């Protein structure tokens, strides 16, 4: 749905811009003479204002929707395993024989 409203807002802004562009370029007499209905729409300031306000409202809504952040994910972390009690190893050193006395 936001894409549709963005497209509608963009089209309305482009149409309003084209209306002002046609009005400013100096082709007003040409449009007024050849296409009186188009001239009526081009010079309709309330219509242009309405189109701009509608497009700004659509863009504002989409901007607010884009700024909403998602809730953080809930992560379940398993507790570490309990330490096991291992008996201390017994260090056994063999008894060395007593050195022999040397005569000398």
SS (H, E, C) 64-84: HHHHCCCCCCCCCCCCCCCCC
Longest dimension (CA), the chain: 140
Q: How many domains does the chain have?
A: 1
**Residue 49 domain flag:** yes
Task: Quote the pTM value.
Answer: 0.40
Residue 50: give the domain boundaries: 26-68
pLDDT in tens, 14-44: 888 888 877 766 667 777 888 888 888 878 8
**Residue 11 domain flag:** no
Q: How many CB atoms lie within 10 A of CB 42?
A: 21
From residue 59, alpha-carbon distances to 16, 18, 65, 73 in Å are 15, 19, 10, 29
**Residue 56 domain flag:** yes
Average pLDDT of span 57-80 = 82
């Amino acid at each position: 749905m936001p894409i549709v409203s963005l497209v509608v807002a963009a089209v309305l802004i482009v149409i309003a811009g084209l209306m002002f562009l046609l009005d400013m370029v100096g082709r007003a007499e040409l449009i007024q003479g050849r296409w009186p209905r188009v001239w009526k729409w081009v010079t309709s300031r309330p219509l242009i204002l309405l189109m701009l306000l509608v497009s700004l409202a659509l863009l504002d809504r989409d901007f607010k929707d884009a700024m909403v952040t998602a809730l953080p994910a809930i992560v379940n972390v398993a507790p570490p395993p309990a330490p096991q009690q291992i008996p201390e190893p017994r260090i056994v050193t063999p008894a060395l024989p007593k050195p022999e006395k040397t005569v000398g």
